[in-house]
Amino acid sequence: MARDDRQLTYKEAAAEALLQAMEKDEKVFLMGEGVDNITGVYGQVLPAYKKFGPSRVIDTPISENGLTGLAIGAALDGMRPILIHQRNDFMLLAMDQMMNQAANLRYASGGHHQVPLTILSFVARRPGEGVQHSHSLQSVFAHFPGIKVGMPASTVDAKGMLLSAIFDDDPVIILEHRHNPLYDKKEYVPEEYYETPFTANVVVSGQNITIVTISIALVNALEACGELNSKGIHPEVIDLRWLRPFDINPIIRSVKKTGRLMVVDTGWKICSISSEIIAQVCEYAYNYLKCPPRRITLPDAPCPASQFLEPYYHPTTEMIIKTIRETMV
């Protein structure tokens, strides 16, 4: 099929991953609040529901922690459950089951118990969503050994990372980003089954500065590159993709080449993945740094609901351009 004929949105690519996973392995099933209806999960689960019906695509009670435990129980019996939460903010209700249980059970059983559980959720950034519907909590989840955390930042990875997660034998959290221009962005997506490796992705090669992005920040960084290139600045852009496993090597290699580092994250700054990236670069490539590392994150406050304040809250392309020009002086 010609590449032009396979243009899917990020959402459609993820929906295709769910469908293909269920076709590939009958042990895969889906659970979540409202997964079986058109408004549930933005329709992302509908293709799977239409094909497999309510016995394998289960609409559930509103019980985040209980559902996670239930999914772990099914996983201990050899199933591959996918648990969907409409927003990642709700996942905090399931911290015991995700972190005390799913993340620890393999270790605590000397390797005997495997929990092939996928937890799929969304950063639902949008004006009006406010303090409990729009946060981006990846750094919280990535603190714990034993559970993988990924944030697809491209349409191709929306499919491939989800499939990697579903067929991994350990628990994996996938946080999609619902904001545009990412969620409705169309790209060529291969029709066949494929998995995205558990590595960071060097998206653009450059030599002046290393920009590490998390999730939708990649879109901003790529946009910034257009403007910066015209000014003779050529950043190297690395999409981290997975917070766990944490793939620092391409970042270290890049900083050794560019001598400069900037991290752009959709989360907060303190005790975060951006802290970790900068700390490890300082540990392993300190002598290569020509100037202090920089980072663009959320301000140290919850997300306001007001459409008059919300636009100032998230990292923008302009912030990236401005910070890089300061750094390059």
Q: Any idea which residues carry the catalytic annotation?
A: 64, 133
- Taking CA atoms, 145 is separated from 81, 98, 230, 277, in Å, by 20, 11, 43, 17
**Nearest to 158, CA basis, from 199, 107, 132, 196:** 196
In this complex, which beta carbon is closest to other proteins, that of residue 69 or of residue 250?
Answer: 69
The residues in 79-98 that bind other proteins, with binding defined as CB under 8 A, are 79, 81, 96-97
Place of tokens 């991994």: 168
The residues in 171-230 that bind other proteins, with binding defined as CB under 8 A, are 171
Q: Which stretch binds other proteins (CB under 8 A): 122-130, 139-147, 178-186, 288-296?
A: 139-147
User: Under the criterion CB under 8 A, does residue 232 sit at the interface with other proteins?
Assistant: no
Considering the complex, what minimum distance in angstroms separates the CB of residue 25 from other proteins? 13
The residues in 106-125 that bind other proteins, with binding defined as CB under 8 A, are 106-114
Q: What is the amino acid identity at position 265?
A: D
Mask: binding to other proteins, 43-82, rule CB under 8 A, as x and -? ------------xx-x-xx-x-xxxxxxxxxxxxxxx-x-
In this complex, which beta carbon is closest to other proteins, that of residue 166 or of residue 219?
Answer: 166
In this complex, which beta carbon is closest to other proteins, that of residue 18 or of residue 262?
Answer: 18
Task: Assign residue 265 a region (left: φ > 0; alpha: ψ between -120 and 50; beta: otherwise).
Answer: beta
Q: Binding other proteins by CB under 8 A: which of 12, 157, 170, 265? A: 170
Q: Binding other proteins by CB under 8 A: which of 7, 37, 100, 307? A: 100
Q: What is the largest CA-CA distance in the chain?
A: 61
CA dist 295 and 304 (Å) reads 21
Considering the complex, what minimum distance in angstroms separates the CB of residue 107 from other proteins? 5
Considering the complex, what minimum distance in angstroms separates the CB of residue 318 from other proteins? 36
Q: Binding other proteins by CB under 8 A: which of 179, 185, 241, 244? A: 244
**Nearest to 29, CA basis, from 7, 60, 61:** 60
CA dist 285 and 59 (Å) reads 49
CA dist 105 and 298 (Å) reads 33
In this complex, which beta carbon is closest to other proteins, that of residue 69 or of residue 190?
Answer: 69
Q: Binding other proteins by CB under 8 A: which of 245, 292, 299, 311? A: 245
Q: Count H helices and E strands in the chain, helices first.
A: 11, 14
Instruction: Give the HSE-up count for residue 261: Cα atoms under 13 Å, Cβ half-sphere.
Output: 26
In this complex, which beta carbon is closest to other proteins, that of residue 4 or of residue 77?
Answer: 77
Q: Which two tokens stand for residue 128?
A: 């009006």
Mask: binding to other proteins, 4-43, rule CB under 8 A, as x and -? -------------------------x--------------
Q: Which two tokens stand for residue 189?
A: 């997506």
# residues near other proteins by CB under 8 A: 48
CA dist 296 and 291 (Å) reads 16
Pair 127, 310: CB distance under 8 Å:
yes
Pair 297, 274: CB distance under 8 Å:
yes
In this complex, which beta carbon is closest to other proteins, that of residue 28 or of residue 251?
Answer: 28
Positions that interact with other proteins (CB under 8 A): 29, 55-56, 58, 60-61, 63, 65-79, 81, 96-97, 100-101, 103, 105-114, 144-148, 169-171, 244-245
